[in-house]
């Protein structure tokens, strides 16, 4: 689950996980790398978090931190960024060939919606813990985030591991349609007996198209 700060990644994951068997799922939200991890291959700390057979793992941000947040905030060098962009399609292809299903969601919100959510976090004591110095830079560096986001899509979107864009200004709709998308991707007993459609609304959930203009001009420079 990827997206700008306050895009609703954590809330979406909670809606998924609240009705799942805790023995067959895991949530991964890694903090900044330790000094030891900084000396390792970048993907190393993520590999140990990958799912076992029959298990689902939710990444609340993932190795794609290096594609957007880290270069925007200056947390990695240009050389580290370029190496990551070259390696990540190969890394994901190895997982794909070994039978691991990866669904890459990008939760997309407008600049105005992000600002409103930041203000809500600051005004609500129960949400204030969510606001960080990195969040504070989100509005100031909006265009820089957009640049790296589009670079990420263009260079890491593949047929075997595509980016799925979720228009997330409406939290409830984004959550429902994201769940529908995941359910539509797997076969399971009595799937054909579902009492509601499992096909997501194509106006909310869509596969990335290789056009930088497509997203920015249809959804308020998200």
Q: What tens digit of pLDDT does each residue of 187-203 get?
A: 999 998 888 889 999 99
Q: pLDDT value at position 196?
A: 87
For residue 219, pLDDT beyond 80: no
Where is average pLDDT lowest: 88-92, 178-182, 206-210?
206-210
Q: Per residue in 137-175, pLDDT tens?
A: 889 999 999 999 999 999 999 999 999 999 999 999 999
Domain containing 171 — which CATH number? 3.40.50.300
Separation CA 71–CA 80 (nearest Å): 9
Residue 199: DSSP 8-state: S
Average pLDDT, the chain: 92
pLDDT of residue 217: 37
Looking at residue 212, what is its pLDDT?
Answer: 42
Instruction: Find the domain containing 55 and state its range.
Output: 2-218
pLDDT in tens, 33-55: 999 999 999 999 999 999 999 99
Length of the chain: 222
pTM here is: 0.91
Contact between 183 and 190 under an 8 Å Cβ cutoff? The reply is no
- The owner of tokens 């593949």 is 158
Looking at the structure of the chain, the number of domains it has is: 1
* Bridge pairing between strands 163-167 and 56-59: unpaired
Chain segment 86-132, per-residue pLDDT in tens: 999 999 999 999 999 999 999 999 999 999 999 999 888 888 888 88
Cα 104 to its chain centre, rounded Å, is 6
Residue, of 119 and 216, whose pLDDT is higher: 119
Q: Quick one: tokens of 2? A: 């990827």
């Amino acid at each position: 689950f990827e997206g700008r700060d306050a895009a609703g990644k954590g809330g979406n994951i909670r809606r998924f996980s609240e009705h799942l068997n805790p023995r067959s799922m895991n949530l991964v939200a890694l903090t900044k790398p330790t000094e030891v991890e900084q000396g390792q291959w970048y993907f190393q700390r993520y590999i140990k978090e990958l799912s076992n057979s029959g298990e689902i793992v939710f990444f609340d941000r993932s190795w794609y931190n290096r594609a957007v947040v880290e270069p925007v905030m200056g947390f990695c060098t240009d050389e580290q960024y370029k190496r990551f962009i070259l390696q990540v399609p190969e890394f994901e292809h190895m997982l794909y060939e070994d039978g691991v299903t990866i669904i890459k969601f990008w939760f997309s919100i407008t600049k105005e919606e992000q600002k409103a959510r930041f203000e809500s976090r600051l005004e609500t004591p129960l949400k204030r813990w969510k606001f960080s110095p990195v969040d504070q830079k989100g509005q100031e560096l909006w265009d820089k985030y957009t640049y790296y986001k589009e670079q990420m899509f263009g260079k890491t979107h593949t047929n075997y591991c595509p980016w799925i864009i979720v228009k997330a200004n409406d939290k409830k709709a984004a959550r429902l349609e994201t769940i529908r998308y995941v359910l539509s991707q797997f076969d399971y007993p009595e799937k054909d007996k579902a009492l509601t459609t499992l096909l997501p609304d194509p106006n909310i959930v869509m596969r990335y198209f290789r056009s930088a203009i497509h997203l920015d001009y249809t959804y308020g420079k998200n």
